[in-house]
Amino acid sequence: MRGTRARGATADEAKQATGEACAAPRRTRRRRAAVTLNEVAAGAGVAPITVSRALNNPASVSPALRSRIEQAVEQLGYVPNRMAGALASARTRVIPVIVPSLSNVVFVEVIEGIQEAVEAQGYQMLLGSTGYDLGHEAALAATLLGWAPPGMMVAGLRHETRTATLLRNAGIPIVEFMETGRAPIDMNVGLSHVRAGAAMAEHLLARGYRRIGFVGLRMKDDYRARQRYDGLRRQLAGKAAVVLFDREGGAGQGGGQQVGWDALPDLLAITPALDALFFANDEMAVGALLRARRDGTDVPGRIAIAGFNGLPIAALTTPTLTTIVSPRKQIGREAAAMLLARIAGREPTTRRLDVGFTLEAGGST
Amino acid sequence: MRGTRARGATADEAKQATGEACAAPRRTRRRRAAVTLNEVAAGAGVAPITVSRALNNPASVSPALRSRIEQAVEQLGYVPNRMAGALASARTRVIPVIVPSLSNVVFVEVIEGIQEAVEAQGYQMLLGSTGYDLGHEAALAATLLGWAPPGMMVAGLRHETRTATLLRNAGIPIVEFMETGRAPIDMNVGLSHVRAGAAMAEHLLARGYRRIGFVGLRMKDDYRARQRYDGLRRQLAGKAAVVLFDREGGAGQGGGQQVGWDALPDLLAITPALDALFFANDEMAVGALLRARRDGTDVPGRIAIAGFNGLPIAALTTPTLTTIVSPRKQIGREAAAMLLARIAGREPTTRRLDVGFTLEAGGST
DNA sequence: CTGAAAGCGCTTACAG
DNA sequence: CTGAAAGCGCTTACAG
């Protein structure tokens, strides 16, 4: 019933929009912002559904109508209303991605991998950043689900219970990316940060270091750094002394460098017996390396320095920085591939992928 | 008419969803994905519109009903469908932001500034990256406008004609951020890259350099770097020799460092008379500085090195790097503030803001 | 290949 | 403070 009435009204409107004289008062509730599909249909002299088909599945419309419709679209400057389409079809081409921070290059690289893969399939990425706050993460997940996405990606395997419940009950494929370890909500791509820490322990032991410090930045928030520390500590148990330093400060892009710069002389003064420092990330390690360079501190003679992530700059310092390379862009691409497969109704090769890591031994250890 | 029918149907559905026995066959077209506002209304024993009010403007509903509704929302796990809300109200809380790249920390910092400001007002940022391709930018702008956003932000003042037309005709506030210079579509926040280049010219002249090279990376795409070069060249005219080097490669995060690292020995070998190099950004300059350190090249004795952006690492190298600091986070915040003011129907203090820059003279020149 | 009808899940505008 | 009606701009499901 409403269909009939509504169509009558919109047909009139379409005539107005396409320029036909019409003195009937407008019945719309508010200002008309944009050209609609009905107006295009009127312009092309076809039914709205035909315009819809011509746009979404051109092959299903005869060439003659198709070209008339394309012309009307062009002439009227029609831009489809995504909200209406999404509401009617119960489908969106938007994939939300939740990360803890954009200040950390690591997440940005994963995001780039995701974006490339997702855009190639005609999807759009909706980015949310939690600021390492799991409460904020929960709120963000709820809001983003309101966009009825076909799938969702979230960094990490640790969430508040309500977040996990919400995502599990959303009935869409979910990928948790960054680390492996515990059971995922649905799918998982990442690497074992515990094993990465253990690998660094083995490396430092092999090079003869026995009094080792781990330097973290706001470890309370960064549980992946805690996992690396755990791996280091367990692997060194009984073979070398380990001490944890948890530093503050250094917000924003490149902030970690300043923290490493400040930390080096502090730690050497307080615990002069240290012979090696494993920094939670390369930024901090590079900051320490630059500080050693300025102060004339011998690396690795006085103190060995290692980092984590495998940023390009690790290969450019003197000495080069020992680090663990994580395949970040690959994580993004694989995570997106898994999700897109499931969205398309296919089963991905695997639902849990460990992308591994590589220890690059440099001159700094 | 339709309203009556539809409401009859949905009332039945609501009863089913809330658990009342009902054998009538479902009339819906497809699977029911989520709890709807109608179901919450039925659960709380009120009209749907009252639920809508309780959610969007709690003060307009009596405390008694409000708490009954809140309880129903909680119990049913209701998540509002943003698409339906947006379609009905012709308003979205999503603000699209278009940048050329996420690999460049500079854009990421601007984005962070935007996100903070925008989230504080209850808006969500929808991020699009063009890969420095203005054709892609046009497509992205069109798609994003389909979400009927209340405003939009785009990096840069240069776009294809169709992009500018599309944005101008969208009837929403637009902020172009990053550089100042030409007339904006609507509002503009940034700094003059031409003047920044000229400022560096003055600095290098004052320090006695007379044979100066500008090193860019894919200058064809990076017109802001070209503006800095133009400013440098014009300011040096008649006072010093200038030469432009346009390098390739170095994609992705930190890629610029490798380019600077590779460039330094090349340039010194080919044009040994050079006495100063102004790199298009700090990443490249740091790469060159690290190369000089490894090769034992004296900076600034043999060659002076300067960068642009004012990244934190510029203060940590030995010697410290001369650079131009751009207030990136401020650009993001100011741009967002302007846009939000206009969205709220207020007039911002100004529609065109030059945030300026600061030249930090370091030991590298 | 084309179309008339119905509906997606909300909010606006009008009443009371 | 609360509600019945109508509509936002599309797509699905059913016909022909």
- What pLDDT shows up at residue B25? 34
A319 contacts in B (CB within 8 Å)?
Answer: none
Kindly report the backbone phi and psi dihedral angles of residue B296, in degrees, each rounded to the nearest multiple of 5, phi listed first. 75, 20
Kindly report the backbone phi and psi dihedral angles of residue B29, in degrees, each rounded to the nearest multiple of 5, phi listed first. -80, -25
Question: What is the C-alpha to C-alpha distance for residues B52 and B78, in angstroms, rounded to an integer?
Answer: 12
Range 41-100, chain B: CB under 7 Å to any strand C atom:
48-49, 52, 55-56, 78, 80-81, 84-85, 87-89, 91
Q: pLDDT band at residue A120, thresholds of 50, 70 and 90?
A: confident
Domains A93-190+329-355 and A193-325 share a fold: yes
Residue numbers of B between 251 and 280 with CB closer than 8 Å to A? 252-255, 257-258, 261
* B2 vs A: CB within 8 A: yes
Domain at B93-191+329-355, CATH class: alpha beta
Determine the distance between B57 (CA) and D4 (C1') in angstroms. Answer: 20
Kindly determine whether residue B312 and residue A79, on different chains, have CB atoms separated by under 8 Å: no
Determine the distance between A335 (CA) and C1 (C1') in angstroms. Answer: 40
Question: What is the C-alpha to C-alpha distance for residues B85 and B90, in angstroms, rounded to an integer?
Answer: 8
CATH superfamily label, B2-80: lambda repressor-like DNA-binding domains (1.10.260.40)
Determine the distance between A10 (CA) and D11 (C1') in angstroms. Answer: 17
Percent with pLDDT over 90 in chain A? 67
Kindly determine whether residue A83 and residue B148, on different chains, have CB atoms separated by under 8 Å: yes
Is A229 in contact with A244 (CB distance < 8 Å)? yes
CB atoms near residue A350 (< 10 Å): 12
- What pLDDT shows up at residue A33? 59
Token pair, residue A220, equals 């309370």
CB atoms near residue A75 (< 10 Å): 13
* Distance in Å, alpha carbon of B32 to nearest chain A alpha carbon: 10
Question: What is the C-alpha to C-alpha distance for residues B314 and B286, in angstroms, rounded to an integer?
Answer: 7
Q: Which DSSP string do the residues of A141-202 spell out, in sequence order?
A: HHHHHTT--S-EEEE-S---HHHHHHHHHT-S-EEEEEE--SPPSSEEEEE-HHHHHHHHHH
Range 237-276, chain B: CB under 7 Å to any strand C atom:
none
User: Is pLDDT of A22 > 80?
Assistant: no
Determine the distance between A85 (CA) and D10 (C1') in angstroms. Answer: 5
Q: Return positions of chain D under 7 A from a protein CB.
A: 1-13
In which residue are the tokens 């591994």 written?
A: A356
Smallest CA–C1' separation from A26: which nucleotide?
Answer: D7
- What pLDDT shows up at residue B163? 93
- What pLDDT shows up at residue B119? 86
- What pLDDT shows up at residue A24? 34
- What pLDDT shows up at residue A169? 84
User: Is pLDDT of A41 > 80?
Assistant: yes
Token pair, residue A86, equals 């999404």
Q: Which CATH architecture has domain A93-190+329-355?
A: 3-Layer(aba) Sandwich (3.40)
- Of A29, A28, A83, the residue nearest B86 (C-alpha): A83
By Cβ distance, the residue of B33, B87, B312 closest to A171 is: B33
Q: pLDDT band at residue A255, thresholds of 50, 70 and 90?
A: confident
By Cβ distance, the residue of A146, A286, A329 closest to B81 is: A146
Higher pLDDT, residue A120 or A32: A120
How is chain A split into domains, by residue range? 2-80, 93-190+329-355, 193-325
pLDDT along chain B (365 residues), means of 10: 30 35 36 76 92 90 90 88 88 90 90 91 86 90 86 96 90 95 96 98 98 96 95 98 93 85 96 97 97 97 98 96 96 96 92 98 98
Kindly determine whether residue A147 and residue B83, on different chains, have CB atoms separated by under 8 Å: yes
Kindly determine whether residue B253 and residue A105, on different chains, have CB atoms separated by under 8 Å: yes
Of the candidate CATH numbers 3.40.50.300, 3.40.50.620, 3.30.10.20, 3.40.50.2300, the domain formed by B193-325 belongs to 3.40.50.2300
* A122 vs B: CB within 8 A: no
pLDDT (tens digit, 9 = 90+) per residue, B332-355? 999 999 999 999 889 999 999 999
pLDDT (tens digit, 9 = 90+) per residue, A271-301? 999 999 999 999 999 999 999 999 999 999 9
Residues 6+ apart with CB under 8 A from B92: A83, B82, B86, B147, B148, B149, B150
Kindly determine whether residue B90 and residue A125, on different chains, have CB atoms separated by under 8 Å: no
- What pLDDT shows up at residue B33? 59
Range 1-30, chain A: CB under 7 Å to any strand C atom:
1-4, 6-7, 29-30
Determine the distance between A188 (CA) and C7 (C1') in angstroms. Answer: 37
By Cβ distance, the residue of B86, B255, B294 closest to A83 is: B86
Determine the distance between A164 (CA) and D12 (C1') in angstroms. Answer: 32
pLDDT (tens digit, 9 = 90+) per residue, A199-216? 999 999 999 999 999 999
Is A343 in contact with A151 (CB distance < 8 Å)? yes
